[in-house]
């Protein structure tokens, strides 16, 4: 409650405690050894491994933080990745998409989740050969994927620019204090406000409100094309045909 409540300063973290190991029946906090056992004994699901790709310590001694990150690297390097696991990641993404509107900049088609799922999939597949890929930030991870040539330079650069733009839109929407924090506004008044906030965040000339929706459509189309291309590369042959 302390980190999720909303006050005059906003919310510190949006935390869903149901997502902890063993769900509602599990402890709210567990030891490193129990955490390691949960995954090493086959308890960790693919989506949980995806989440660990973005994990980073926020509190604790230097030793505790290093130990935790080493444990996460060990967990994500276990086992062999298979096309069937790629299929699970794809199904999870499509399930999240089904519950969203077409204006959702996060879970909708070509939203920020498309880029994040591409990055996390490639991290999980290639972490054994390239442990330096385990960087929690999506933009930093894209740079690492480019540096290791897991992603072609042109593709990585395009994803970087598109993801940066989508997050810029999302950040401005949040500043508008709307109840739907990821929904692209459709009214002229709200689009004008969004354009002002996007420009103010970059100290650049105001962006025309009429350009926002076409630009978002173009960027999201780019993201979905890359998403499809990457997943088709790693899916089972019968599913990607």
Q: What is the pLDDT of residues 133-160, one digit of tens each?
A: 999 899 999 999 999 999 999 999 999 9
Q: What is the pTM of this model?
A: 0.88
Residue 241: the pLDDT is 36
pLDDT of residue 201: 63
Band of the pLDDT at 2, cuts 50, 70, 90?
confident
> Looking at residues 201-224, what average pLDDT do you find?
85
Model pLDDT, residue 232: 95
Q: Is the pLDDT of residue 52 over 80?
A: yes
For residues 156 and 121, the answer to whether their CB atoms sit within 8 Å is no
3-state secondary structure of 167: helix
214: number of Cβ within 10 Å: 9
Of the pLDDT bands very low, low, confident and very high (cuts 50, 70, 90), residue 27 is confident
By mean pLDDT, which of 38-52, 113-127, 167-181, 206-220 is the weakest? 167-181
Q: How many CA atoms lie within 13 A of 173 on its CB side?
A: 19
Work out the percent of the chain whose per-residue pLDDT is above 90.
58
Q: Are 21 and 30 in contact (CB under 8 A)?
A: yes
Is pLDDT above 80 for 1? no
In this prediction, residues 201-227 reach a mean pLDDT of 87
Strands (E) across 164-233 are located at none
Q: Residue 68 above 50 pLDDT?
A: yes
162-187: per-residue pLDDT in tens?
Answer: 999 999 999 888 888 766 778 898 88
Taking phi over 0 as left and psi of -120 to 50 as alpha, with beta for the rest, 124 belongs to: alpha
Question: How many other C-beta atoms can be found within 10 angstroms of the C-beta atom of residue 97?
Answer: 18
Tell me: pLDDT of 239 over 60. no
Average pLDDT, the chain: 88
Residue of 205 and 87 predicted with greater confidence = 87
pLDDT reported for residue 179: 66
């Amino acid at each position: 409650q302390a980190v999720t409540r909303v006050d005059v300063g906003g919310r510190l973290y949006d935390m869903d405690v149901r997502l902890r190991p063993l769900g509602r029946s599990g402890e709210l906090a567990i030891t490193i050894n129990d955490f390691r056992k949960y995954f090493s004994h086959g308890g960790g699901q693919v989506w949980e491994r995806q989440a660990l790709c973005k994990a980073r310590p926020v509190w604790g001694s230097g030793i505790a933080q290093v130990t935790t990150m080493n444990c996460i690297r060990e967990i994500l390097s276990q086992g062999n990745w298979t096309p069937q696991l790629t299929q699970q990641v794809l199904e999870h993404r499509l399930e999240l998409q089904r519950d969203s509107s077409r204006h959702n900049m996060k879970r909708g088609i070509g939203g920020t989740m498309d880029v994040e799922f591409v990055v996390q999939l490639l991290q999980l597949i290639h972490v054994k050969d390239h442990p330096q890929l385990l960087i929690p930030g999506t933009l930093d991870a894209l740079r690492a994927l480019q540096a290791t040539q897991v992603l072609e330079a042109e593709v990585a650069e395009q994803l970087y620019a598109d993801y940066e733009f989508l997050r810029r839109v999302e950040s401005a929407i949040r500043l508008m204090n709307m109840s739907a924090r990821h929904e692209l506004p459709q009214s002229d008044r709200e689009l004008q406000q969004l354009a002002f906030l996007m420009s103010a965040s970059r100290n650049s000339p105001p962006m025309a409100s009429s350009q926002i929706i076409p630009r978002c459509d173009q960027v999201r189309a780019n993201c979905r094309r890359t998403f499809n291309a990457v997943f088709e590369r790693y899916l089972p042959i019968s599913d990607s045909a």
